[in-house]
Structure 1
Amino acid sequence: MRYRRYGRTELQMPVITCGGMRFQQSWSDEPLESIKQSGQENLEAAVKFALEVGSNHIETARGYGTSEMQLGQVLPKINRDDFIMQTKVAPDPDPKKFLETFEKSMEYLQLDHVDLFSFHGINNAETLDWTVRDGGCLEVVRKLQAQGRIRFVGFSTHGGTQEICDAVATGEFDYVNLHWYFVNELNWEAIQLAHKKDMGVFIISPNDKGGRLYDPPAKLKELCGDLDPMQWNALFCLSRPEVHTLSMGVSCPQDFDTHVKMLDYYDSAEETMTPALNRIRSEMASILGKEWCDGWWKGLPEWWDVPGDINVKEILRLYTYGKSLDIVEWGKMRYNLLGNAAHWFPGQKVSDVDPVALKESLAGSPFADRIPEILDEAHAMFNAAEVKRQSES
């Protein structure tokens, strides 16, 4: 395994994290006696394998159903100095409820402290306010730190770049979990700001949200050449020193294999991934035009400034990569969350709106005249049955 200094925490973080949102039995709490032995054995095998290969950062959340409880059956048996533990609890307008939820996490994990604690889902101004306002959830966490039950404090986010930058700018957090990978480079500004504040940077879901790379289309596999698309995307991320670790949400020990092999190229990450990067960018330009690829996002309004709350920026992102690289199933998965995931994935799908008002809202984009037609094409490409977030499915 390779390790990177995790910002001002000074922790040596493995570049591959053992994420705990896919090997649990259920997305809802269940009694311990209902946990199937085979499932528990699989989870324990995954954790054991992770530690054997040096992926000693174990990450979970109160929102991951039985994950914490199942981990709590194995973690107390491991030398506490041998792993870095992270869990996450969503901020709440009532700090007392927030504390109760944290206590439930610790009860399930059966640990006396966590190394990394995250506010789960600071996605907008409201959830940030619940966290940092006087008397808010952060004050609760500072007391828990003073008691030695939490070492370092961060936040996870599915928010837009400005929302992430606003949270980073408070200076209150030691690290951030956020989305950034090839099919979502828009949050680079937030990573740069986090780097200036010496924060740890954890990349959420590079394999799933990053393009369903565990099931890549033939075109993307061909463009990546000898690299598995998951390996290529990991090297793309790790070629930036500002990035410290990638979440590997494992369902079984074998899920580590592809990424462990990726480490063979770690010392030449940029050199190794660049030929495929050039092929991919060239293919995208040939399909969509270089001008579009170089600035499709510029001047786009936020979803709340668009008639019908259409999330134009997100839809155009899905269109850009889905259309040019054939990652349509990923596009469908994300597109059909719109309207069903609250602040985790805000805004709406394409709908019938006043075309004049829509065009007016797009006035800041150099592609304003083209976008309405592209939105219709994206809707035809991606629209399918509504999708819920995994934790609600």
Structure 2
Amino acid sequence: MKEAMRRPLGSNSLVSLFTLGSMRAASSQEAMYSVVKEAFQAGINHLETAPTYGPAESFLGSSIKRLEQEGMKPEGGWVITSKILPGAEIKEGQRQIKKILARLGKSKIDNLAVHGLNLQEHLNWAINGDGAELFKWAKQENMVNQIGFSSHGKTSLIKEALSSHFFQFCSLHLHLFDQERLPIAREALREGIGVMAISPADKGGRLYEPSQTLLNDCEPFHPLELAYRFLLAEGITTLTVGASKPSDLNLVKRLINSANPLNPLENEVIERLKSKAEKRLGENLCKQCKKCLPCPNNVPIPELLRLHNLAVGYELVTFAKERYNLIGRAGHWWEQLNSTACKKCGDCLPRCPEHLSIPDLLEETHKQLVDSPKRRLWG
């Protein structure tokens, strides 16, 4: 097993630069065991799971027990983060937390997160409602050390959650190809709040299956390697890796201690990526300033045009299609309206500093990305 460096996730947990996300290894008990064993051998000490990941918690608990019986346990023990969906009343929440611990075979876990703090009502529940009482009880009963949250919500909501000083860590969408939340992450880190990046490999653009164009643009690096290095160099506490088989951790094993600043070649390639994408997009590049908002028809213009940027600029077409066709099918986890909600009223046009033909671009985005929706892994 490699000696791996660790960073503070909040005030009570020291975690490896990579975190094993358990969702993709939940196909069988043996699959989970083999992946957790490989994670241990790679130097990972942090495991992330949730009740909504099917049987992941139970499989994880059994795998940890078996590995420890075989003498495989990280120095200081495993750090475990699980989650609870917002909205539960106190008694129901207590029942859920007890079940989490039972499935994991633990009397206590390090970190408990609000799973999907995506709406204002979720934040209110967590810091002023039943959630606040629930988390206080869990700490008093010595069941958890720290409280945090994951969020797929708006930037303004995430800022409000972090400024409440209620949470010790957060899980955010932070990606090389989507840097909107990076300033929030930097501020959280300055405040001593741990920051976990949600799946830079998958949610960052399905970078484990890059197009040939993206491979060429990233030479001599693999796109996923560059994406990992970008976030690690920014000081992000830990990056989640959703491995389904041991070989999915090969790159992690090589980068487990790669927290040094970007070197000149890495910076050069990242600039090259940006330059080539801008050239491909030409006058249709959306710079994500959001001055087109608010839309009178509630069309999420910047998010839709971000997908257009990714598909055309970086040839992340498969990823962009996957995200586009999830719109309206994932509740508060994702946008509700796609490009067809645009009525071509022109309200946004005079506000766009790039003078984009936004209605036409939205129509083009829909034609390019609309497809049969794909099933999500778990709830």
Please report how far the alpha carbon of residue 145 of structure 1 lies from its aligned counterpart in structure 2 after TM superposition.
Answer: 0.9
2:364 aligns with one of 374, 377, 390: 377
Q: 2:110 is matched with which residue?
A: 115
Q: Give the aligned residue type for 1:82.
A: G
Equivalent-residue separation in structure 1 for 2:290 and 2:342 (angstroms): 22
Q: 1:137 is matched with which residue?
A: 131
Q: 1:31 is matched with which residue?
A: none
Which secondary structure does the structure 1 equivalent of 2:25 belong to? coil
Q: Unpaired runs of 5+ in structure 2?
A: none
Please report how far the alpha carbon of residue 266 of structure 1 lies from its aligned counterpart in structure 2 after TM superposition.
Answer: 4.3
1:105 aligns with 2:100: yes
Q: Deviations over 1:104-143 (max 9, x none)?
A: 2112111011111111000110111121124x21221121
Equivalent-residue separation in structure 2 for 1:369 and 1:127 (angstroms): 35
**TM-score, normalising length: structure 1:** 0.88
Which secondary structure does the structure 1 equivalent of 2:262 belong to? helix
Q: Give the aligned residue type for 1:107.
A: A
Q: 1:35 is matched with which residue?
A: none
Q: CA 1:272–1:155 in 2, change beyond 3 Å: closer, same or farther?
A: farther
Q: CA 1:255–1:203 in 2, change beyond 3 Å: closer, same or farther?
A: same
Which secondary structure does the structure 2 equivalent of 1:22 belong to? helix
Q: Is the 8 A contact 2:284 2:356 kept in 1?
A: no
1:124 aligns with one of 119, 124, 143: 119
Please report how far the alpha carbon of residue 345 of structure 1 lies from its aligned counterpart in structure 2 after TM superposition.
Answer: 0.4
Q: 2:378 is matched with which residue?
A: 391
Q: Is the 8 A contact 2:18 2:256 kept in 1?
A: no
1:191 aligns with one of 185, 188, 212: 185
Equivalent-residue separation in structure 2 for 1:7 and 1:306 (angstroms): 41
Q: CA 1:139–1:270 in 2, change beyond 3 Å: closer, same or farther?
A: farther
Q: Is the 8 A contact 2:5 2:257 kept in 1?
A: no
Q: 1:88 is matched with which residue?
A: 83
Equivalent-residue separation in structure 1 for 2:262 and 2:218 (angstroms): 14
**TM-score, normalising length: structure 2:** 0.91
1:17 aligns with one of 16, 19, 35: 19
Which secondary structure does the structure 2 equivalent of 1:338 belong to? coil
Equivalent-residue separation in structure 1 for 2:88 and 2:323 (angstroms): 28
List aligned pairs for 1:208-287, cutoff 5 A. Answer: 208-241=202-235, 243-263=236-256, 266-267=259-260, 269-287=262-280
Q: Give the aligned residue type for 1:122.
A: L
Q: Is the 8 A contact 1:130 1:137 kept in 2?
A: yes
Between stretches 9-18 and 257-266, larger displacement belongs to 257-266
Q: Is the 8 A contact 2:232 2:258 kept in 1?
A: no
Which secondary structure does the structure 2 equivalent of 1:119 belong to? strand
Q: Give the aligned residue type for 2:246.
A: P
Q: 2:324 is matched with which residue?
A: 335
Q: 2:289 is matched with which residue?
A: 297
Q: CA 1:165–1:44 in 2, change beyond 3 Å: closer, same or farther?
A: same
Q: CA 1:220–1:262 in 2, change beyond 3 Å: closer, same or farther?
A: farther
Q: CA 1:306–1:65 in 2, change beyond 3 Å: closer, same or farther?
A: farther
Please report how far the alpha carbon of residue 384 of structure 1 lies from its aligned counterpart in structure 2 after TM superposition.
Answer: 0.6
Q: Give the aligned residue type for 1:109.
A: L
Q: Is the 8 A contact 1:76 1:111 kept in 2?
A: no
Q: 2:37 is matched with which residue?
A: 48
Q: Give the aligned residue type for 2:193.
A: M
Please report how far the alpha carbon of residue 276 of structure 1 lies from its aligned counterpart in structure 2 after TM superposition.
Answer: 1.5
Equivalent-residue separation in structure 2 for 1:248 and 1:227 (angstroms): 19
1:67 aligns with one of 52, 56, 59: 56
Equivalent-residue separation in structure 2 for 1:290 and 1:194 (angstroms): 35
Q: CA 1:4–1:74 in 2, change beyond 3 Å: closer, same or farther?
A: closer
Q: What stretches of structure 1 move > 4 A for 4+ residues in a row?
A: 263-266
Q: Give the aligned residue type for 1:297.
A: C
Which secondary structure does the structure 2 equivalent of 1:13 belong to? strand
1:160 aligns with one of 154, 158, 176: 154
Q: CA 1:174–1:264 in 2, change beyond 3 Å: closer, same or farther?
A: closer
Which secondary structure does the structure 2 equivalent of 1:380 belong to? helix
Equivalent-residue separation in structure 2 for 1:263 and 1:347 (angstroms): 38
Q: Is the 8 A contact 1:165 1:193 kept in 2?
A: no
Which secondary structure does the structure 1 equivalent of 2:176 belong to? coil
Equivalent-residue separation in structure 1 for 2:348 and 2:336 (angstroms): 15
Q: Deviations over 1:353-391 (max 9, x none)?
A: 4322xx225654324651111111111111011345332
Q: Is the 8 A contact 2:299 2:342 kept in 1?
A: no
Q: 2:65 is matched with which residue?
A: 76
Q: Is the 8 A contact 1:232 1:273 kept in 2?
A: yes
Which secondary structure does the structure 2 equivalent of 1:360 belong to? coil
Q: Give the aligned residue type for 1:262.
A: L
Q: Is the 8 A contact 2:17 2:256 kept in 1?
A: no
Q: Percent identity?
A: 27
Which secondary structure does the structure 1 equivalent of 2:320 belong to? helix
Equivalent-residue separation in structure 1 for 2:273 and 2:283 (angstroms): 12
Q: Unpaired runs of 5+ in structure 1?
A: 26-38
